[in-house]
């Protein structure tokens, strides 16, 4: 076998006992396939073939480090989690990748279905996320479709260097806590050209995260793109850019939310070139989110820019910047035109403890900025 052939070896999960008939549990076969290719050298490819439905009833934990320099996964078929009363695993994450470098997942033709409708009626129950990445550096995920997660669809934790592109996430607006993509304690994460419909934040950024870029995101329904909530721990978030994105009939658009009395900071955050369609809170800073904490000086918020917003607000208050008593600093509103989606109504701006400037902004915020 030549070196080229060796490096491009494809491993079909059916060769490890997976049936792909949508009825029998293929969890063990998927795990066996992963354990085999992780121990191989070169750049092996795990194939989940088209026209097949692979049912999983237990958590799939794909962990490294691996001998392989890089690993490819081609998801061409469907992976479907069992419904709640048939689930035999724990309630953490259905498919979990941990401590793997150089992982590349291409989901063209494929789909992951979390069967969330069997979990959602119990809103206060612990429910699993569908897909998790922990300590995976140099990660690439593209053309992946995920639907109906019991809870968050994708979680990214302690990762450095990841590109998510052409991701499609779809869950109903009333599905509880079904965040699209949650990012925590990670840096150099790029999410682009993706559509996210969920019952919670389309993207949420928390923990110690920096250099996060979201470009070309179509969000809706959902709760918008959020920095936070921050402050439960000493959370520090900086260098976040959301660009050329749209919000359609979402609860929020660009949102920063922090706990009263929390600790940490959020700075150098930009939302730019944003299109709004009947968004309830188009631009919102909420430093009194879930007033459950006491003490501490509050999360320090500074160097935040909202620029190039266009569209309609479903709420009279289109811009609502509610900072805590220490104040928010270097807040910039620029080139904004938001009008009411309701004929004859006027949109307004409200700012509390905000230090910054407003230029070419409708509704007018100059009167309430310091």
Beta partners for residue 62, in sequence order: 97
Q: Which is nearest to 200 in space by CA: 144, 257, 157, 242?
A: 257
CA atoms within 13 A on the CB side of 273: 10
CA atoms within 13 A on the CB side of 297: 7
d(CA 138, CA 220): 29
- The CA dihedral of 96, 98, 103, 109, to the nearest 10 degrees, is 0
Determine contact, residues 301/266, Cβ cutoff 8 Å.
Answer: yes
What are the residue numbers of the active site?
Answer: 200, 223
First to last CA, the chain: 71
Q: How far is CA 224 from CA 140, 277, 302, in A?
A: 24, 12, 20
What the block records as the tokens of 287 is 């430093």
Mapped onto helix, strand or coil, the DSSP state of residue 33 is helix
Q: What number of other Cβ atoms are within 10 A of residue 31's Cβ?
A: 17
What does 229-242 look like in DSSP terms, one character per residue? EE-SSEEEEEEEEE
- Cα 331 from chain centre: 25
């Amino acid at each position: 076998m030549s070196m080229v052939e060796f490096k491009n070896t494809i491993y079909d999960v059916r060769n490890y006992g997976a049936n792909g008939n949508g009825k029998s549990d293929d969890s063990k076969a998927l795990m066996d396939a992963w354990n085999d290719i992780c121990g191989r050298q070169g750049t092996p490819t795990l194939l989940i073939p088209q026209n097949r439905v692979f049912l999983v009833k237990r958590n799939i934990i794909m962990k490294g480090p691996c001998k392989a320099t890089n690993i490819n996964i081609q998801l061409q078929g469907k992976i479907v989690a069992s419904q709640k009363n048939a689930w035999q695993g724990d309630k953490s994450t259905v498919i979990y990748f941990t401590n793997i470098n150089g992982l590349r997942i291409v989901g063209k033709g494929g789909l992951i279905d979390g069967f969330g409708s069997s979990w959602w009626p119990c809103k206060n129950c612990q429910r699993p996320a569908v897909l998790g990445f922990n300590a995976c550096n140099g990660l690439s995920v593209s053309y992946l479709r995920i639907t109906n997660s019991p809870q968050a669809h994708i979680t990214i934790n302690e990762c450095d260097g990841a590109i998510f592109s052409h991701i499609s996430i779809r869950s109903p607006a009333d599905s509880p806590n079904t965040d699209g993509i949650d990012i925590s304690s990670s840096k150099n994460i790029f999410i682009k050209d993706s559509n996210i419909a969920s019952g919670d934040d389309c993207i949420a950024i928390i923990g110690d995260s920096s250099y996060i870029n979201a470009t070309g995101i179509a969000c809706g329904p959902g709760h918008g793109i959020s920095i936070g909530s921050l402050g439960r721990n000493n959370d520090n978030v900086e260098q976040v850019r959301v660009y050329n994105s749209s919000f359609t009939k979402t609860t929020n658009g660009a949102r920063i939310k922090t706990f009263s009395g929390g600790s940490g900071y959020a700075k150098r955050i930009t939302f730019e070139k944003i299109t709004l369609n009947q968004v309830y809170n188009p631009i919102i800073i909420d430093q009194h989110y879930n007033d459950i904490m006491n003490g501490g000086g509050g999360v320090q918020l500074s160097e935040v820019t909202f620029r190039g917003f266009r569209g309609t607000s479903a709420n009279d208050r289109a811009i609502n910047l509610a900072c805590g008593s220490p104040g928010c600093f270097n807040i910039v509103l620029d080139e904004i035109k938001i009008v009411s989606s309701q004929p004859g109504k006027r949109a307004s701006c409200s700012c509390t403890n905000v230090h910054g400037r407003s230029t070419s902004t409708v509704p007018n915020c100059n009167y309430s900025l310091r």
